Chains A and B, each alone.
Chain A
Amino acid sequence: MSFDAAYQSQKLKSVGTRPLRPDGVDKVTGRARYGADFNMPGQLVARVLRSPHAHARIVRMDTGAAEALKGVKAVVTAADLPDLTNGDAELFAVLDNCMARTKALYDGHAVAAVAAIDERTAKQALKLIEVEYEILPHVVDVDAAMVADAPILNDELFTGGVDPKPDTPSNVANRAEFGHGDVDAGFAEADFIVERSYKTEQTHQGYIEPHACVASCNPDGTAELWVCTQGHFVFRQNCADLLGLEVSKLRVTSSEIGGGFGGKTHVWAEPVALALSRKAGRPVKLVMSRDEVFRASGPTSATSIDVKIGAKADGKITAAMATLRYSSGPYPGMWAELGAMTSFACYDLENVKTVGFEVIVNRPKVAAYRAPSAPMAAFAVESAIDELAQKLGVNAVELRIKNAAREGTKSSYGPVYGPIGIGPTLEAAQSHPHMSAPLGKNQGRGMACGFWFNFGGQTCSDLNVNADGTVALAVGTVDVGGSRASLSLIAAEELGIDYKDVKAVVADTATLGYNDMTDGSRGTFSSSMATISAARNAIAIMRARAALTWDIPVEDVYWEDGHAKAAGTKYGNLSPLSVRDIAAESGNTGGPIAGHSELVADGAGVSFATHICDVEVDPETGATSIIRYTVIQDAGKAVHPSYVEGQYQGGAAQGIGWALNEEYIYGADGRLQNSGFLDYRIPVCSDLPMIDTQILEIPNPNHPYGVRGVGETSIVPPLAATANAVSNAVGVRMSHIPMSPPRILAALNAERD
């Protein structure tokens, strides 16, 4: 169905207000049902056996004793999840990650699973599974994995993107290069050059809800899956592909989701639960423990990045270069490539070159984490920009404004920008009172910009007008942070009815057409587009019904302020018909009234943010406290401003945690040492100040209301903003994230010596 997504300036009544969210009461009363809150009759409990080794060949496995244990109903290994991926490397990685085939590739890699009548029996059964491992040398560090004599994880992996094609295997899966101009010439022109290497450690999305599902395979080939996911349609496809099921016979229902941030964008254990159910002939519930979430579900990359920037004395950047190495776990992704694309995207550069190396290591398979790969690249680049400003003796905001990308700038990743919003965020930062507030002893201020590609994608929604004139809206993008409220506002706006007369739900895979995941900041952007389209389709039907009611041609009926109105003067005494009026008569005017929409929401547009951070550092202990924080970001149009602010604040908090304390810590044995919230230190309530937000609204030309995605960009600047603040507070450039107290104190000691 054709749909004009172009922005139309109009006065909005509902959009931009802050009504109560429709799922609020369920969530404050404990009634909302998350992944682990669902049960089925006859349900079994699943537990997964995981490798204790970072890298080991599975020589032999004996599940006989476990199968013989009373109460055990099924045991599965890789043999029960045969390779049906047909050469699709990405899908094979998902499969092998769900259940190791020949080798365990990281501490926590699944090797077998059991389903039993209760947890106690399942745990006991795991202990009865005998696995003989041949322990292989491992490598967990991204730089160490690149050296010539590093242990090789995959003998069939040869570095892509280099010429000539190498003939020896490597942990470097791919080299990707971006840029334009001549960086050597640019550096030759520079009056000042900054050059430094940076490291960031691996972090986890840290959603509070562990992965959980209930799987039920029936003897007739149908199956059901209840699961916490960012995309139930994608999970359906993943599971159907991996288990050889027909897509239409697998019905997936998304539970309420207790946080995802990219970590619930592909399957981790759901195919295992389905395989257990298929084998046992009973429903199976599989809930990961927190330890399993950290050890075996996707963290983000650890990185090692070199940056070199040259500028003229007047502050104009003449050349910029970055080499970025991203770990991807044992399977290649596109993480380094994303880092290489985003690193200099904020700037207008004549000469720029970025090279990304995708490196496989014996760590869990990396998953997307909110603007994946961009925060680390921004940390390195924005730190270098800060250092450059100091070297040039110019204000850090002014330096950025001078070099900021604008409409017509050739981006560092290739295309030329249309209208973009980095300039306004920088100008807002420059005039923000935070920027000029006085600082005390041991305090420092930092700022940084961030860029992210938002995207849209395949989207489908249904809008049903009920007989009482209220509206049921069914969407297929999982609500991760209040989108049902936003989409209800959109429907209310378009139909001209009250927000409270719209009830939005997330439909399951059997009741709505395919939807891409809620990722790429697309949930509200794309589902709002589909909702507008569905509402307009419903309005077309309502106009027709009004025409029937009035017995006049439909061309003479127009829609305004939630009413069908007769055009012109010839039907002068016809009073307008409301949605309620039309709905009440629907049984006699052609039956139910509904609007559907199936569309591709492209044109999301790129997104920019600028953050300002103040810290205080205890010079004797290296402890950092965040004392003030401001987020400035373009939302296009904030549909429900409270939840836009929430996205800004949440992303900032995650970025601050990454900057200061969060990291995966491995022992010499390649095992993860901090697989819990005690020692994987996400920010707690007392760690943070209030987080100020400033929403800019520069309409997105490719959305009827001007909406942009807002979910991800807010995590991009905080690593750099915090690092710049700390560096400015202590007078030493901090180049290793997280800036844990031991790292800060060591840097201070080195400076004092």
Chain B
Amino acid sequence: MRYERPETIMDATALLAQASDSAFVLAGGTDLLVKMQNDDFEAELVVDIKSIAGMADVVETDDSFVIGAAVPCAALGEHEALCAAWPGVVEAANLIGSTQIQGRCTVAGNLCNASPAADSVPALVAANAQARIAGPDGIRTVAVEDIPTGPGKTSLAKGEIIEAIVLAKPTDRSGDAYLRFIPRTEMDIAVVGVGVCLALNDDGAVASVRVALGAVGPTVMLCPEAAETLVGTKLEDAALEALAAACSAASTPIDDKRGTVDFRKQVAGVLARRAALIAFERAGGSQ
């Protein structure tokens, strides 16, 4: 295995483009180093992107927050403006692993690891976050939900690296929230995760909403049919029940060591209801 620490994104993409298929990007390393423990793991190349200028910064522009691919999640929680603007995203990012993991793990890495149970991803998808991708052919931007294509698989082409996650500044009267279910209080992989981001109209009813579900399908998925149940409502009980039912229905989970199909479907609805209420309150809504 070769370890490289390029100083420019061009060098990084070039290294990856030239490498065999067993080449990996190293940012926080909290997934990659776990994989490396496996006796069957083999890597030809690991490209550490932390020495590339700007990768470790959160940049606030007039209309967005640009989160560099090597920003540890702990740093997101320390960024006051980001916390105020996207509390759901930051909470989600801060749920990944332990304090120790927080000091290293990144949202870009969480996304590229392409686990359907990734905590930050449903929140990012609900927030309509964009991934800025650098590759041999230049820069492109795609919606976060289009990055994972299946467990452990992404739409990134050979040589491509996510260099930043971009979150638009939220509109007025909007709010986001993320809730996940784990058996313990910490340290577990999400059994179900739900991100909700909504905006209110002048009447205080829901004008637009995005609902994303984690750990209940092969990828984190946007759930428009669940979102529709809330539009025009003030999250009355009936609307919340409809949301829960839609989320449960949209869930296509598996039975595994972390949870059962029935459990995941049911709890997806419960968490959606609870997350929607938090987002609604953050948006300034009242019932």
Contact = CB atoms under 8 A, between A and B. Distances in A.
Nearest to B263: A742
A686 interface: yes
A741 B264 CA distance: 11
Interface in B258-272: 258-260, 262-263, 266-267, 270
A395 B18 CA distance: 74
B185 A684 contact: yes
B183 A740 contact: yes
Interface string A119-157: 000010011000000000000000000000000000000
Interface string B266-282: 11001000000000000
Interface in B234-287: 256-260, 262-263, 266-267, 270
B137 interface: no
B177 interface: no
Contacts of A620: 267, 270
A625 B185 contact: yes
Contacts, number: 64
Contacts of B191: 741
A222 interface: no
B59 interface: no
Contact of A686 (B183, B185, B259, B263): B185
B257 A665 contact: yes
Interface in B169-193: 181, 183-189, 191
B62 interface: no
Tell me the interface secondary structure of chain A in the complex: loop
B257 A674 contact: yes
B141 to A, nearest CB: 33
B183 A681 contact: yes
B78 interface: no
Given A123-B39, A673-B257, A746-B263, A678 B188 contact: yes
A745 B39 contact: no
Nearest to A47: B39
Given A123-B39, A621-B270, A687 B184 contact: yes
Interface in B96-139: none
Given A620-B270, A621-B267, A679-B257, A746 B184 contact: no
B39 A126 contact: yes
Nearest to A683: B184
Interface string A741-753: 1100110010000
A661 B191 CA distance: 14
Given A620-B270, A661-B184, A741-B181, A678 B189 contact: yes
Tell me the interface secondary structure of chain B in the complex: loop
A401 B266 CA distance: 42
By CB atoms of chain A within 10 A, which of B37, B191, B258 has the most?
B258
B181 A621 contact: yes
Contact of B260 (A625, A661, A742): A742
Given A678-B188, A681-B188, A746-B263, A661 B183 contact: yes
A161 to B, nearest CB: 36
A665 B267 CA distance: 22
Contacts of A289: 37
A623 interface: yes
Contact of B263 (A661, A683, A745): A745
A665 B256 CA distance: 9
B263 A741 contact: yes
Contacts of B256: 673
A684 B186 contact: yes
Nearest to B244: A620
By CB atoms of chain A within 10 A, which of B39, B183, B191, B266 has the most?
B183
Contacts of A685: 186
Interface in A645-659: none
Nearest to A673: B257
A486 B18 CA distance: 64
Given A674-B257, A679-B257, A684 B187 contact: yes
Interface in A620-673: 620-623, 625, 660-661, 665, 673
Contacts of A673: 256-257
B184 A742 contact: no
B181 A623 contact: yes
A620 B272 CA distance: 12
Interface string A340-370: 0000000000000000000000000000000
Contacts of A740: 183
Nearest to B185: A686
A593 to B, nearest CB: 51
A127 B42 CA distance: 13
Question: Which 8 A-B residue pairings sit nearest by Cβ, starting from the closest?
Answer: A742-B263, A686-B185, A665-B257, A620-B270, A673-B257, A742-B260, A661-B183, A686-B186
Given A673-B256, A681-B184, 6 more contacts: A126-B39, A679-B257, A681-B183, A681-B188, A740-B183, A746-B262
13 contacts: A621-B181, A661-B183, A679-B188, A681-B187, A684-B185, A686-B185, A686-B186, A740-B183, A741-B191, A741-B267, A742-B262, A745-B262, A746-B260
